Structures are given as C-alpha cells and as structure tokens.
Homo-oligomer: A and B are copies of this chain.
Amino acid sequence: MRVAIYGYGNLGRGVELALRQNPDCELVGVFSRRAPETVKTATGAPVYAAADILNFKDEIDVLILCGGSATDLPKMTPALAKDFCVVDSFDTHANIPAHFAAVDVAALAGNTLCLISAGWDPGMFSLARVYAGAILPDGEDYTFWGRGVSQGHSDAIRRIPGVLDARQYTVPVPEALEAVRRGDAPTLTTREKHTRECFVVAAPDADKAAIEQAIVTMPNYFADYNTTVTFVTAEELQRDHAGLPHGGRVIRTGRTGLDGEHTHAIEYSLRLDSNPEFTASALVAFARAVCRMKARGRTGCLTAFDVAPADLSPLSPEELRKKLL
C-alpha cells in the first residue's frame, strides 16, 4: 500500500520510521506546510508542499495525518477526506462525535474511507474498554495513565512567566491501582488516582516560589492533583528527562455467577519508551485496515471499533488462525 504522511513533527517522523518495519507499505512522501527544503526527514523521505497534495491523488492509497488535535485535525481531516482515505489520531475525547460526523460527511461525499482517533488513548485503550465491557457487563472501568510525560501539562507549565522549560510526569497512585486490581471496585477521586511530578527550569532571576504556586493551583491541569515541583538546570532536564515515555493501563473488574460471587479482572497495559513512535505504529496498522476495507467497497468514517483485527495484520487469515489463534 502506498502511504503518505501529512505533517512532520514527532508523530510524522514516527510514521516514517514505522513504515520501514512494514514491508507491505511504501512511503510516497511527506507533505508539510513548511517550505519543503527546510524539512529534513529521518530516512531521507521526499518532502513536498502540503499545498500540492492534490497532484498526488492517484499515487496515495492512504494518507496519515500527523497534525495536532487542538487546531489542525478538526479542519484538516474533513478537508482531506474529500480526496483521500485518511487516518488520524484525533484525541480530544469530548469532540470525537462532532469530528466523526464531519469526517463521515466528507468521506461519503468523496467516496473515501477514513478512520479517526487511532493511537493508544483513544485507540488501543478504547478497544480494551469495548472488549472488556462486552464480556463483563456487570463491572466497572478504570483507566490509569503513566508513569509518563504529558506534553499538554508540560506546555502549560512552560507558559508560566519565568519558566524556561519543563517536563511533567503523570503517575498512577499505587494504592488505587492495587485496590482496583483486587476487585474492590472503589470510587476514586481525581486526586486519588494520579499524582503529577513537574521538573522545571526557571530563569535565573525568576521567583521560584511564585512559579511553584502558579503550577500547583492551576485549574484543570494541577489543582485537583497532588503535585510536586522540582527545579532542575537545563542540563539536568536534557540529561534526565529528554525522552517521551508514556503508558498506562485500562482495567475492568466485573462479576459473574449465580449471585455475582466470582470476580474477574481484565487489564490492558502499555509501557512505551516513545509515545509518538508507538502512536505512529498504531496509525500504520490502521492505515492497512483502511486500505483493505476500501478495496472491499467500504466508505465513510470509521473508528478502531469498526475494524476486524485481522485487517490490521500483515498476516493472511490462514496464517493468523494457524499461528496466533
């Protein structure tokens, strides 16, 4: 399948690298809104101007969008869905129904097949929730994130005056995790589920106490959590916190039996050295499914929920049954 990348940041680079691991994929090129000659790709993939993408309509089977969910994808995905089969990683949970509707209209009008919100959350975590909920109807879901870097929270700290750089880790509370796993089915507040660890580089003349106060009281981002702030040098941040690890787990516990006397726990967990590279790898697998389903005549908008797992795999149905079932 012939794949193109639209947008070249950490995620686009991850897709470029992931495609090399999938022999059935061919990278047509990277499309960027920056001047192509200023974009250097990791593997030397050709770079084209985003404005020229319609010239490549017949050369691209599926286009993987690597823009941000805040401002890029809400416009980008429906616009490109008219002419291309696209896959995106739209992750603003509350706006998924509206995004789905907009992409569905565009895809049906353009006779394309699109898939939104691929990745790990939304994505693999969402799938874990659907499977577990279908098997254990009498139960409860828990999602824990981390230990990992939240880029949104890191950005929020960087916007505080006097902050030069920052890294924020989301960390699940071990006691909460254990109570859930045991099957206690606890009701947990935001504060009881996760803590937040912040590593901050302050400007030389900055008021560190004021920065710390600004962080721990920040509404939505930190006020509802137990938050620790550690000031580090730029060198320490680069040395100890340069990566983008993440992960987490979805747990569903539930009951079966004549009187609900048996409890069960289903847990899906991820430990990721690189959040963008793992997300990119998921996008490539879903791009494969989109190609196959489009070839069978499907059009419109999909999510991971609509994809039979066999369509994600490079193996044939016969191989899958023989080797993995």
Contact = CB atoms under 8 A, between A and B. Distances in A.
Interface size class of A (residues with CB under 8 A): 35 or more
How many copies of this kind of chain does the complex include? 2
A265 B271 contact: yes
Given A305-B308, A321-B305, A133 B313 contact: yes
A277 interface: yes
Contact of A277 (B134, B262, B304, B322): B262
A133 B134 CA distance: 23
Contacts of A324: 126, 129-130, 133, 305
B264 A267 contact: no
B134 A285 contact: yes
A278 B314 CA distance: 30
B256 A18 contact: yes
A273 interface: yes
Interface in A1-45: 14, 17-18, 21-22, 42-43
B269 A267 contact: yes
A136 B17 CA distance: 12
Given A133-B324, A324-B126, A264 B256 contact: no
A147 to B, nearest CB: 13
Given A181-B271, A256-B278, A325-B122, A314 B134 contact: yes
